[in-house]
Amino acid sequence: MAERGLRKKLVGIVVSNRMEKTALVQVSRLTKHRTYKKFVRRRAKYMAHDPQNRCQIGDRVRIIESRPISKRKRWQVIEIIEKANLET
């Protein structure tokens, strides 16, 4: 049986869950500017597969790379690390 390659894992915050079985996860990272040597915060948004619709906006989740599920969905939610504080 063939081994699966190493898959990337990222941690981010759910910014939208309006789609069916999909969560939009924003991942932030720090990179050093080439010229000015200052740390700059970069961010990217990933559509992640969430089959049970468990993610809520503000949740901190871990996502993993997977095969293409749809046109823009190539990640899956593997765990919810921290639930959002829903104080009204």
Q: Which pLDDT value is given to residue 29?
A: 96
Identify the residue whose tokens are 């599920």. Answer: 69
Q: Which fold has domain 9-82?
A: OB fold (Dihydrolipoamide Acetyltransferase, E2P) (2.40.50)
Task: Please say whether the beta carbons of 64 and 25 come within 8 A.
Answer: no
Structure tokens at 38: 């200052």
Residues 39-74: pLDDT tens digits? 999 999 999 999 999 999 999 999 999 999 999 999
For residue 10, list its beta bridge partners.
63
What is the value of pTM for the model shown? 0.88
How many angstroms separate the Cα of 80 from the Cα of each of 11, 21, 50? 10, 15, 11
Task: Please say whether the beta carbons of 43 and 26 come within 8 A.
Answer: yes
d(CA 48, CA 1): 27
